Chains A and B, each alone.
Chain A
Amino acid sequence: MMMLTLAWITLPLFVGFSIYLLPKLARVLAVAVSLVSLAYGLWHVVYSDPVVLSLVDSFGVSLLVDQLSGFFVLTNAVVTAAVVLYCWQSDKSAFFYTQAIILHGSVNSVFICADLISVYVALEVIGIAAFLLIAYPRTNRAVWVGLRYLFVSNTAMLFYLLGTVLVYQANHSFAFTALVGAPVEAIALIFLGLLSKGGIFVSGLWLPPTHGEAESPVSALLSGVVVKAGVFPLLRFSLMMPEFDPVVRFFGVTTALFGVSFAVFAVDTKRILAWSTVSQLGLILAAPMVGGFYALTHGLAKASLFLTVGKLPSRDIEILKSNQIATKLWIALAMASLSISGLPLFSGFGAKVLTGDNLLPWQTVWLNIATLGTTILFAKFIFLPHTHGKQSVEMVDNSSAELSGFWLSIGLLIGGLVLANVFYLEAYTFKNIAKPLITLALGWLIYWLLFQNLSIKLPRVAEQFDNLIGAMSLVLIFLFWMVMA
């Protein structure tokens, strides 16, 4: 098992660089790598024997692969495969696929690392690869958005690094478990780094503009898997060390509410999705035990939403409302939206039930509000007008060749959403089915009564670059105070 794990984790790096030498095979190799990850992730989800490896020596790299990692690896594999299929007929160069596969590999390594330094290295590699993907179009705007991202993530990681050395100073170890006896400031700094990287709460204000401005396939990758790399170590902390559980759950609830309250007022489709990502990350953190399954269903649904929205004629929801979109696209949008909203038959439902069962009493009310908010904001997509005929607005790229790749990737993602039901079939009881249906009905009612014609422009001052970095200092003080308490 050890050799297999090592071969699997180094494969994306080897393949990533060889893609650059064999540009003709770029897409085939990229899909092959994600299929290998798919098999590996699935194996760990089904046979949940944890694999613990510690390489070199006591100060070396330690790895831990269990069911939780399995779910995250699975998400990463499916989303990467879908994105590569989506780009299959586009004129993306080998450079794009190289970065995508290196990103895939580094995200995978976060999901199996069990020591602070390996996580640091993997997160930094993710930052670099994600920057190169965001800046791929080479326009000023893309470069600026990428630069902002790199700035925020690198500053966050510097704080993380400072926290790590304090942990080492106290306990002479870099293992996750060394956090237990570590000083307060070390814990606060490490949490700050991970919260910023994962786009949680106020330190996650960088996420909507970044995910909103990137190209659709890149947004799908970022929202589907990359942010989860910041969240995953927090889940691990909370599961390994019960004393961090309340902190993680608290941030989960606040983020879920924070994200959803911005999302319901947004008018730009990609920003709605990005804000919803913030809120869904909160739901992953709110119940750390079952975060893996939730991450899988969210990753698949969000990636397919981002890919579909990229094919719509406009990004402004008001313009979309007054025009008619093609029914085929609408079906894809509606299926993914219904899954995130928690409709039975899609695995989003199972994930919601499972999360609901693992909440603490004080969380339940707040997360029900967040879930209701989610149904309201996805009603915006579900109730878009659509038509079969020729009068529908032409799709952005109408060449049928390019569309076949698109439908293949959407088919993969939606098919994954339906198939993932097998992981938790026990969810289908009468009581469980009734609750999301009532929530959906209530959410849609509120949407029709209140939100349909509502337009409030929220200021975007908080998303200015200086304020993003400034928000970090606020979160640091807050964390410090929280861990002390």
Chain B
Amino acid sequence: MFTLEALLLATVFCGFFGIIWKKNLMMKIISMDVMSTGVIAFYVLVAAHTGLFTPIAIPGSRADVAYADPVPQAVILTAIVIGFSIQALMLVGVMKLSRDNPTLECREIERNNS
């Protein structure tokens, strides 16, 4: 469990440093996606602390099964949808910018627009 946790945090920070160090705007957006994947997976991991069984109650099912915690899963579903819509919105912005800055170098765009 501990190794998994460490790996997920590493994913988050990989994404975070990608946002800082990658020069291309497109790569920065992908890095942000990596970061959010890490966070989402962390929620799933926390949900699995109590067990791995899908938390759906069926009449007649046994009560002593180790169910996964449904709350973090329900919550992260919202965050996934929000994350993906923001991603889409950003890509539209990038499409617009790419017309005048075909290389999408972040420094270049910043210099042209300030």
Report yes or no: B85 in contact with A128, Cβ–Cβ below 8 A: yes
Instruction: For chain A, residues 101 to 142, give those with C-beta under 8 angstroms from any C-beta of chain B.
Output: 117, 120-121, 124-125, 127-128, 131-132, 135, 138, 140-141
Report yes or no: A165 in contact with B42, Cβ–Cβ below 8 A: yes
Which residue of the partner chain, among B36, B96, B110, contacts A465 with CB atoms under 8 Å? B110
Q: Is A437 an interface residue (CB 8 A)?
A: no
Report yes or no: B78 in contact with A117, Cβ–Cβ below 8 A: yes
Q: Is A158 an interface residue (CB 8 A)?
A: yes
Known interface pairs A117-B75, A121-B82; A138-B20 also in contact (CB < 8 Å):
no
A interface footprint on B88-103 (CB within 8 Å = 1, 0 otherwise)? 0110011011001100
Q: Is A144 an interface residue (CB 8 A)?
A: yes
Distance in Å: Cβ of A140 to nearest Cβ of chain B: 6
Set of chain B residues within 8 Å of A140, measured between Cβ atoms: 96-97, 100-101, 112-113
A340 and B78 CA atoms in complex are apart in Å by 40
Taking CB as reference atom, which chain A residue is nearest B112?
A: A140
Report yes or no: A158 in contact with B113, Cβ–Cβ below 8 A: no
Distance in Å: Cβ of B55 to nearest Cβ of chain A: 13
Contact size class for A?
35 or more
Set of chain B residues within 8 Å of A138, measured between Cβ atoms: 96
A469 and B49 CA atoms in complex are apart in Å by 32
Instruction: For chain B, residues 20 to 65, give those with C-beta under 8 angstroms from any C-beta of chain A.
Output: 20-21, 25, 28, 32, 35-36, 39, 42-43, 46, 49
Set of chain B residues within 8 Å of A169, measured between Cβ atoms: 46, 49
Set of chain A residues within 8 Å of B109, measured between Cβ atoms: 144
B interface footprint on A424-440 (CB within 8 Å = 1, 0 otherwise)? 00000000000000000
A146 and B93 CA atoms in complex are apart in Å by 9
Q: Report the interface size for chain B: residues with CB under 8 A from the other chain.
A: 40
B interface footprint on A274-309 (CB within 8 Å = 1, 0 otherwise)? 000000000000000000000000000000000000
Taking CB as reference atom, which chain B residue is nearest A59?
A: B71
Distance in Å: Cβ of B49 to nearest Cβ of chain A: 7
Report yes or no: A143 in contact with B72, Cβ–Cβ below 8 A: no
Set of chain A residues within 8 Å of B3, measured between Cβ atoms: none
Q: Is A151 an interface residue (CB 8 A)?
A: yes
Taking CB as reference atom, which chain A residue is nearest B45?
A: A165
A121 and B86 CA atoms in complex are apart in Å by 12
Q: Is A168 an interface residue (CB 8 A)?
A: yes
B interface footprint on A42-61 (CB within 8 Å = 1, 0 otherwise)? 00000000000000000100
Known interface pairs A140-B96, A144-B113, A165-B43; A155-B32 also in contact (CB < 8 Å):
yes
Set of chain A residues within 8 Å of B89, measured between Cβ atoms: 128, 131-132, 150
A59 and B55 CA atoms in complex are apart in Å by 16
Q: Is B19 an interface residue (CB 8 A)?
A: yes
Report yes or no: A154 in contact with B32, Cβ–Cβ below 8 A: yes
A310 and B39 CA atoms in complex are apart in Å by 41
A161 and B20 CA atoms in complex are apart in Å by 20
Known interface pairs A155-B35, A469-B20; A150-B90 also in contact (CB < 8 Å):
yes
Report yes or no: B110 in contact with A144, Cβ–Cβ below 8 A: yes
Set of chain A residues within 8 Å of B79, measured between Cβ atoms: 120, 161
Report yes or no: A155 in contact with B16, Cβ–Cβ below 8 A: yes
Report yes or no: B71 in contact with A473, Cβ–Cβ below 8 A: no
Set of chain B residues within 8 Å of A131, measured between Cβ atoms: 89, 93
Taking CB as reference atom, which chain B residue is nearest A174?
A: B75
A128 and B31 CA atoms in complex are apart in Å by 19
Which residue of the partner chain, among B16, B39, B71, B113, contacts A141 with CB atoms under 8 Å? B113
Distance in Å: Cβ of A194 to nearest Cβ of chain B: 16
Q: Is B12 an interface residue (CB 8 A)?
A: yes
Taking CB as reference atom, which chain A residue is nearest B23?
A: A466
Set of chain B residues within 8 Å of A235, measured between Cβ atoms: none
Q: Is A9 an interface residue (CB 8 A)?
A: no
Set of chain B residues within 8 Å of A151, measured between Cβ atoms: 19, 28, 32, 90
Set of chain B residues within 8 Å of A158, measured between Cβ atoms: 12, 32, 35-36, 39
Q: Is B106 an interface residue (CB 8 A)?
A: yes
Report yes or no: A168 in contact with B72, Cβ–Cβ below 8 A: yes
Known interface pairs A128-B86, A158-B39, A465-B110; A147-B93 also in contact (CB < 8 Å):
yes
Set of chain A residues within 8 Å of B42, measured between Cβ atoms: 162, 165
Q: Is A470 an interface residue (CB 8 A)?
A: yes
Q: Is A464 an interface residue (CB 8 A)?
A: yes
Report yes or no: A143 in contact with B106, Cβ–Cβ below 8 A: no
Distance in Å: Cβ of A469 to nearest Cβ of chain B: 5
Report yes or no: A464 in contact with B110, Cβ–Cβ below 8 A: yes
11 new A-B contacts, CB < 8 A, other than A151-B90, A168-B71, are: A117-B78, A131-B93, A143-B97, A144-B97, A150-B86, A150-B90, A154-B83, A155-B32, A162-B39, A460-B114, A469-B19
Top 5 closest A-B pairs, CB basis? Answer: A141-B113, A144-B113, A147-B93, A124-B82, A143-B93
Q: Can you list 18 A-B contacts with CB-CB less than 8 angstroms, sorted by A residue number?
A: A121-B78, A121-B82, A140-B96, A144-B97, A144-B109, A146-B93, A147-B97, A150-B86, A155-B16, A155-B19, A158-B12, A161-B39, A165-B72, A464-B107, A464-B110, A466-B106, A469-B20, A473-B16
Q: Residues on A close to B: CB < 8 A?
A: 59, 117, 120-121, 124-125, 127-128, 131-132, 135, 138, 140-141, 143-147, 150-151, 154-155, 158, 161-162, 165, 168-169, 174, 209, 460, 464-466, 469-470, 473
